[in-house]
């Protein structure tokens, strides 16, 4: 009987040594080395369960089996705890802003249409239709003006002149306003017997003390309202005044009869009156 109990006694002693060694190793583990309070509580629960499961006489194989099961259970719980803790941190994390950049070619781009302010002056902006219309209007006005000027040139005018050979011989001739001075002198030549043998280039026409070149037309003086030294060049009727004469403060525009004479006479007498006052007409000069 005593011999049968010896193996159990030896087993008990061996179990006691293992328990003491296990307790000593457990006490040596600090909270800092564990890393968290939850892990320490799990270690204590495994130790308590081991003590509760090995009360009394337990074989070494049973003790090691129970310990292994408890360790395995602790590891399974630890493995479940770690994944569970991670989502909580993710849930607490601040959500990242969603990127609005897209490379989708089929994505529809919404374009905001710019509205026009009806109160803004846009007349200075180029407008082809408006420019074309203005060009047409200008062309119509130009053609209308040309027709009016042609009508003026075709109007007849009675010109009073004086053939001058030292004294005046007044005559009249009808010309068109578009006639040149050279054409006017040809008509004068036909009226004056003394000039019939002369060439028109040998005659000069003096109006308001200005010698008028042959290429000018009466229309040129009429349209520009040209003036000479002693009166208007554009009035050829010596009997009519252009301005009113009942006001002493207004200048009288009495026109003097133009003189027609031979160029040779002028060359002989240009040093005496009235030829000494004559000079060639300059359109740029203000008389």
Residues 173-218: tens digit of each pLDDT: 999 999 999 999 999 988 888 888 888 889 999 988 899 999 999 9
Residue 169, pLDDT score? 82
Residue 245, pLDDT score? 39
Residue 102: which residues within 8 A CB-CB, separation 6 or more? none
Ranges of the chain whose pLDDT falls below 50: 1-2, 4, 29-43, 82-90, 238-254
Residue 146, pLDDT score? 93
CATH fit for domain 156-280, picks 3.10.20.90, 3.40.50.1820, 3.60.21.10, 1.10.220.10: 3.10.20.90
Residue 72, pLDDT score? 80
pTM: 0.48
Residue 53, pLDDT score? 65
Residue 200, pLDDT score? 85
Residue 184, pLDDT score? 92
Residue 221, pLDDT score? 87
Taking only the tens place, the pLDDT of each residue in 88-106 is 444 555 656 565 555 555 5
**Calpha distance 242→237 (Å, rounded):** 10
Residue 230, pLDDT score? 73
Taking only the tens place, the pLDDT of each residue in 126-143 is 888 888 999 999 999 999
């Amino acid at each position: 009987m005593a011999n049968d109990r010896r193996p159990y006694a030896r087993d008990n002693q061996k179990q006691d040594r293992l328990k003491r060694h296990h307790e000593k190793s457990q006490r040596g583990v600090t909270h800092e080395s564990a890393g968290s309070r939850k892990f320490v509580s799990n270690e204590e629960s495994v130790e308590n369960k081991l003590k509760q499961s090995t009360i009394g006489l337990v074989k070494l194989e049973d003790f090691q089996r129970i310990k292994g099961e408890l360790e395995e259970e602790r590891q399974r719980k630890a493995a479940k705890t770690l994944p569970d803790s991670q989502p909580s941190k993710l849930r607490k994390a601040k959500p990242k802003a969603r990127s609005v950049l897209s490379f989708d070619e089929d994505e529809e781009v919404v374009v905001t249409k710019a509205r026009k302010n009806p109160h803004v002056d846009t007349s200075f902006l180029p407008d082809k239709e408006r420019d074309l219309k203005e060009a047409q209007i200008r062309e119509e006005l130009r053609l209308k003006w040309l027709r009016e000027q042609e009508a003026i040139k075709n109007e007849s005018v009675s010109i009073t002149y004086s053939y001058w050979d030292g004294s005046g011989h007044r005559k009249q001739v009808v010309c068109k306003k578009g006639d040149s001075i050279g054409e006017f002198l040809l008509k004068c030549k036909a009226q004056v017997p003394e000039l019939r043998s002369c060439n028109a280039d040998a005659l000069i026409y003096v109006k308001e003390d200005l010698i008028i070149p042959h290429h000018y037309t009466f229309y040129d003086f009429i349209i520009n309202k040209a003036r000479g030294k002693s009166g208007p060049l554009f009035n050829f009727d010596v009997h009519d005044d252009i301005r009113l004469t009942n006001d002493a403060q207004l200048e009288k525009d009495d026109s003097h009869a133009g003189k027609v004479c031979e160029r040779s006479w002028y060359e002989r007498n240009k040093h005496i009156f009235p030829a000494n006052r004559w000079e060639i007409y300059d359109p740029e000069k203000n008389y």
